[in-house]
Amino acid sequence: MTTDDRRILHDVFGFEDYREGQEPVVRALLIGRNALAVMPTGSGKSLCFQVSALALGGLTIVVSPLVALMQDQVASLRLAGVAAETINSARDRADNVAAWRRVAAGETRLLYLSPERLMTDRMLAALAKLPIRLIAIDEAHCISQWGPAFRPDYEALADLRHHFPGVPIAALTATADNATRRDIAAKLFEGDGEIFVAGFDRPNIKLAVEMRRNGSQQLLAFLQRHRGESGIVYCLSRKKTENISRLLSDNGIAALPYHAGMDKWDRDRNQDIFMTEPGQVMVATIAFGMGIDKPDVRFVFHTDLPGSMEAYYQEIGRAGRDGQPAEAHMLYGLDDIRMRRVFIEQEDGGDDRRRREHQRLDALIGYCEAATCRRTTLLAYFGDTGEACGNCDTCVDPVELLDGSEVGQQALTAIVKTGQRFGVAHIIDVLRGTETEKVISARHDQLPPFGVGADRSKDSWRSIIRQLVAASFLKLDIEGYGGLSVTNKGQTLLEGDGSFAYREDRAPAKPTRKSRSAAPLSELDDADDALLAALKNLRLRLAKERGVPAYVVFSDRSLIDMAQRRPRDAVSFAEVHGVGDAKLRDFGDIFLRAIAEAA
């Protein structure tokens, strides 16, 4: 016998079965248990609370951090025939008032709110009069990561269990290590809830990291392999975002900037173009990304080191949400590490938080320096396991570790002899015997280490020093100007008791013309490909008419299924992946006509 939730899954959302990890979460919520669900990006976290909300009846409150995320989900639910509303600052007051009247009248099943709007005395008092059956908190890692410093109302969500006793709370995120999971469960549930971890692996995303040499040229070379594809390029600063966007446009790449310093109208326009038009590249700070549910993002490129493993995982998770091959590529250098340390020290939140953030950054640096499979390193950080993946740079082009004890001692000696206060560039000049004005005025050309590393290039020494920092033989002065000093571990190496192994920095192999990420979406013949292209054009037109992203109308997977099945009537169209009752009613005839015309 079909249960209510499975009937809803099929009739409303058009799915034959749950994806891996979804059903246990739904079952827990339906019996009134609190649940934290940690599931990979693109695995269908939202469906867990959406199905539960419709099965439980009454009103479900969904807490979401970004207006774009709320509006996309509400648009998607409405197209599926679900009465959903959002009340937010981007809408006219009249629209918000009308939405609240529908909520108060019992016409709405899901109400999307920001934490700031929800956690006001007036809103909480008004909601207390309504039949609240479920509270869902999307992007729940923000409770732990943003609460103390950036979004105090996220941390205030811990009071929801007192305002709505007996109402189950669903917390959902793609990004939470063990410590973050415990923190979320303690704050939201006081430990009284289930924690479901569906795994962190995104095997369709190829992982690669390389040291920055000429960042602009490295980026352009990467994008040559992704011509005509949608992707995101992340930059550390607003200025760099603008500069990189211009660089790409000047090189014939459809690129748009996005950062918090832009006018809101310009940001919204650029986001709409990215979401609705194919082949667009968004060059952005981290202000862009959370809640961006564009399925066909084929790559994410970091021009700078992210802030932590969690941030990195969250950001690369925007690629390949359709399950097709995608690529995550990162550049980094020693300056990145110093700047990230500075950011952590400048952040509010107390010594304990700063200590944890430094440890998280250390883990990311270790990931960058990994000589073995990157995916296993990434998964291990989140408490997950996996075999060597064959789909990362260290698997495809294995790294050989060299004995670096001698070169390490040379670098450490130069740092000690020069007073442990100079930066990388000066130390390299001393090691290579370069008679700069600074070296001569400091009389460092008279020191024993002067010129001992003349046979190595500047790039080689930069790589070695960077790896000495990553392996904690050296420490960067993060409050000053990047001066290097020797740690206790480094002193042990100097005394001949330790060892240092390093990877020889080398230019990446010349890429093939066609990357793995450019693989076809599915095994379609020429006629099916032509039909798929026609269906995508139709979807884009319908999306623009409704002012929603294209994937909200139908996902790529749904269109591929249509192209392969070629349904001829409403009965067979209803069997297409992602076609529920509402989409059958609203779009069935339109797409059936397009399929018939193509035939």
3-state SS track over 156-181: HHHHHHHHCCCCCEEEEECCCCHHHH
Interval 197-202 mean pLDDT: 84
Q: What is the pLDDT of residue 359?
A: 73
Helices (H), 317-436: 334-346, 350-368, 374-381, 393-396, 405-417, 424-432
Q: What is the pLDDT of residue 476?
A: 72
Please give the full DSSP string across 506-529, using - where no structure is assigned: -PPPPPPSS-GGG--SS---HHHH
- At 404, which amino acid appears? G
Name 388's bridge partners. Answer: none
Hey, how many other C-beta atoms are within 10 angstroms of the C-beta on 485? 15
Q: Is residue 518's pLDDT more than 90?
A: no
Model confidence at 494, in pLDDT bands (50, 70, 90)?
very high
Contacts of 347 (CB under 8 A, 6+ apart): 149, 353, 354, 357
Which structure tokens are listed for 191? 């430990």
Q: What is the pLDDT of residue 367?
A: 86
Model confidence at 182, in pLDDT bands (50, 70, 90)?
confident
In three-state secondary structure terms, 530 is helix
Of residues 356 and 22, which shows the higher confidence score? 22
Model confidence at 413, in pLDDT bands (50, 70, 90)?
very high
Hey, how many other C-beta atoms are within 10 angstroms of the C-beta on 161? 20
What domains does the chain contain, in order, with CATH numbers? 4-197 (3.40.50.300), 205-396 (3.40.50.300), 401-502 (1.10.10.10), 520-598 (1.10.150.80)
Q: What is the pLDDT of residue 350?
A: 75
Q: What is the pLDDT of residue 121?
A: 92
Interval 379-398 mean pLDDT: 85
Average pLDDT of the residues of the chain: 86
Of residues 282 and 211, which shows the higher confidence score? 282
- How far is the CA of 172 from the CAs of 112, 158, 380, in angstroms? 14, 15, 21
Please state, in angstroms and rounded to a whole number, the distance separating the CA atoms of residues 260 and 378.
29
Classify residue 488 as exposed, middle or buried by CB count within 10 Å of its CB (0-12, 13-18, 19+): exposed
Q: Is residue 477's pLDDT more than 90?
A: no
- With b meaning 16 or more CB within 10 Å and e meaning fewer, what string describes 406-442? ebbbbbbbbbbbbeeebbbebbbbbbbebeeeebeeb
In three-state secondary structure terms, 224 is helix
In three-state secondary structure terms, 59 is strand
Q: Supply the pTM of this predicted model.
A: 0.69
Please state, in angstroms and rounded to a whole number, the distance separating the CA atoms of residues 51 and 6.
8
Q: Is residue 348's pLDDT more than 80?
A: no
Which structure tokens are listed for 13? 């959302």
Model confidence at 492, in pLDDT bands (50, 70, 90)?
very high
Nearest residue to 281 via CA among 261, 299, 259: 299
Model confidence at 316, in pLDDT bands (50, 70, 90)?
very high
Please state, in angstroms and rounded to a whole number, the distance separating the CA atoms of residues 221 and 118.
46
- Location of structure tokens 């100079």: 422
φ, ψ for residue 300 (rounded to 5)? -130, 125
Q: What is the pLDDT of residue 146?
A: 45
Choose the weakest-confidence range: 45-54, 87-96, 239-248: 87-96
- Location of structure tokens 């011509």: 227
- pLDDT (tens digit per residue) in 126-160: 999 999 999 999 888 888 754 444 456 677 888 99
Of residues 517 and 274, which shows the higher confidence score? 274
Which structure tokens are listed for 54? 């419709």
Of residues 268 and 293, which shows the higher confidence score? 268
Q: What is the pLDDT of residue 525?
A: 64
Nearest residue to 367 via CA among 311, 325, 413, 298: 311
- pLDDT (tens digit per residue) in 555-586: 888 998 899 999 999 999 999 988 999 999 99
Q: What is the DSSP letter of 392?
A: B
CA 569, chain centre distance (Å):
40
- With b meaning 16 or more CB within 10 Å and e meaning fewer, what string describes 219-243? beebbebbeebbbbbbbbebebbbe
Model confidence at 528, in pLDDT bands (50, 70, 90)?
confident
